[in-house]
Amino acid sequence: MTRRLLTFMFLSAAALALPTATRPATPEKTPPPSAPNPDLDAAAAASAAHGWIELIRDYALKDWQRVSLPGGTPPDSRSSWRYDQSTGILHCAGVDLPEMLLHHTERGDGIFRVEWRYAGSPTKPSAGILVRTKPDASAWHEAALTPNVLGMLGGARLSPAGATSRFNTGRRRPELMRKPGEWNIVELVCTGSRILLHVNGVVTADWRECTVSSGLVGLRADGAPVEFRSIRFKPLP
C-alpha cells in the first residue's frame, strides 16, 4: 500500500511531508499515574445505564493500539498519548509523532461520541475521529477536526474486489468550532452502509456508501496538542 494512500487527505501541507527517517529512540520519562476521580466513575456508571460504553478508563491505555503515520512503520518508543485519571482527559502532544490511537475492539453499528479541544490556539492543528477503520488502514473513515475542513468526512473505502478508493463528503463548517478552551462534540452514527456525522449538534455529512460493516474506532492527531474526553461508544441494534 502506497504512502500516499495511507496519508490522510485532511493533513496540512506541512504535515504531508512526514519524516520517514528513523526517529531517535529516546524514551521519555512516564509520569506517575494520577489518582482516579470518583465523580468520573459515577458519570461512567450513569452512561452505562443508557447503553454507553466508556472506552478509556485505564491509565496505561492497555485497550488501545498506536499506529504510526505514515503506515508501515513501527510506533516510536515515545508516546504522544497520556491519560489523566483525575480529570478524565486524554492528552495528545501531537508534535513530531503523527499517529492514530485505535481501540482494539471491533465495532459494528453504533454511535461513537468524543469531546475534544485544541490546547491553546495552535497555528497548524490537524486531528480526526475514526470509525470502521482496519488495522492495516485498507479502510478508514475519518471526521476531520482540522478547523478549515471541520464537518467533512473522508477516508478510504474497499470495493467488493478489495480495491481501495478515496472518498470525501460533507460540508465545511469551520464556524461550528467553539472558542479556544471550550469542548467540542463529535458524534459518528454508523448504521449499515450509512455514516452520519454530527459536529456540535449539527449534521454536516450523511454518507451512504460505506462498504465495511465493522472496524476499529479511534483518534488521530498531529501538528498540535489536542485533548479528548468522554470517549464513548453506544451499540445500536
Domain containing 97 — which CATH number?
2.60.120.560
Domain membership flag for residue 3: no
Asked whether the beta carbons of 137 and 1 are under 8 A apart, the reply is yes
Residue 165: pLDDT above 60? yes
**Residue 91 pLDDT greater than 90, yes or no:** yes
pLDDT tier at 141, thresholds 50, 70, 90 = very high
Whether 132 is in a domain gets the answer yes
Asked whether the predicted pLDDT for residue 234 surpasses 60, the reply is yes
Domain assignment of residue 68, yes or no: yes
Whether the model pTM is above 0.75? yes
Q: Which of 116, 160, 165, 115 is nearest to 140 (CA)?
A: 165
Residue 230 dihedral angles phi and psi, to the nearest 5°: 50, 55
* Domains contained in the chain, number: 1
43 is in which domain, residue-wise? 35-235
Distance CA 55, CA 103 (A): 8
9 in a structural domain: no
| Residue 36 pLDDT | 60
